[in-house]
Amino acid sequence: MSVARERFGFMKDGREAFLFTIRNSRGTAVSITNFGAVLVSLLVKKGDGSFQDVVLGYDSLEEYFQNYPMFGATVGRNANRISNALFVLDDKVYHLAKNRGCHNIHSDKENGFHKVLWDYEITGNNSLKLSYRSTDGEQGFPGTIDVAVTYHLTEGDGVIISYHAVSDKRTLLNMTNHSYFNLKGHGAGSIMDTEFMILADAYTPVDKDIIPTGEICRVQGTPMDFNSPQRLDRVIKAEYGQLKLAGGFDHNFVIGNPHSGVRKMAEAVNRTAGVRMEVYSDLPGMQFYTGNSLKDVSGKEGAVYSKWSGFCMEPQYFPNSINTKGFEVPILNKGEEYKSTTIYQFSSFGESFEEDYI
């Protein structure tokens, strides 16, 4: 195992940003930049023994200065939507950026956690800790918080992302990673032949602005049911109102046993590539997004990312939970520790996989 550091470029104020690559003895490698605590690339082994980068992204730091799809982003302070770009906490109204119509998405797409330079510490030979102090009022949120995100690569090809934070004031905090995956390779085009399994009996329906309605609906008997593996091209164009509203999947799934610690949430498999990805987390929900809004984005190595060429699986608290009765709200009290873990576990397979999977 090893962690290598190289120059990735310079910030507009002249500060240097770095790219860190953690590599294990099996050849799996994950690269992260301390600009935005962004996951830039992830080399995993395919069924034929070759390695492929399975996350969408850019070649240069300058391209990440824009990054409207939020490739690889560490999202904070709050992931996903907040209706009307405001919330009330302790009888005070907090106003956020209106960056999705009259609503807010991902806190601040121009000045969020993914657009600042983080401090770094290489911790051992297989992990990188990134730290940032977000001051009171930043992005519109209360409290100065000290945040840390640690990326850890295991010998067993698991990428563990650990979050930690402490605030000096009661605040809202709901972080996630916004990587887009394509198990055939970041530039391989459509994800339609990828199979998905999501261990959820319910999901939160959305309105026309992709804001949860407040309902929690059963998935049984609908195209939202991924409790058995579903190939994407067989469900995404179903005559179902929720899929038409979002142009595909862009929904939060209610994962069982939310306070039981880290447990398996989902799985994605591509048989052509011979790659399986499993998702584990201790959070109550997972946003499943199929890249519906991607529009010919120029990415790494000359790749062009179009609609449905990458998917996100983002463990998090439910969208708009701060404004929705009945949803668990991610409030961080003064002096409390915020801790959360997400694991993306990879494995490759050959011809014997069929009977193992089914």
The SS3 call for residue 234 is helix
121 has catalytic annotation: no
314 has catalytic annotation: yes
- Is 64 assigned to a binding site? no
The SS3 call for residue 204 is strand
Contact of 249 with 320, CB cutoff 8 Å:
no
- Is 179 assigned to a binding site? yes
Of 138, 195, 278, 314, the active-site residue reads 314
- Is 80 assigned to a binding site? yes
Name the helix (H) or strand (E) containing 313: strand 312-316
Identify the DSSP state of 55: B
Read off the amino acid at residue 284: P
Of 152, 178, 186, 251, the active-site residue reads 178
**Judging by beta carbons within 10 Å of its beta carbon (0-12, 13-18, 19+), is residue 187 exposed, middle or buried?**
middle
Identify which of 123, 168, 161 has the alpha carbon closest to the alpha carbon of residue 141: 168
β-bridge mates for residue 254, sequence order: 202, 285
d(CA 33, CA 307): 26
**How would DSSP label each residue in 81-119?**
EEGGGEEEETTEEEE----BTTBEESS-TTTSGGGSBPE
- Is 180 assigned to a binding site? yes
Tokens of 111: 């000045």
**How would DSSP label each residue in 213-252?**
-S--EE-TTSTT--SS-EEGGGTTTSS-HHHHHHTS-EEE
Contact of 92 with 118, CB cutoff 8 Å:
no
Binding annotation for beta-D-galactose? 80-81, 178-180, 250
Catalytic residues: 178, 314
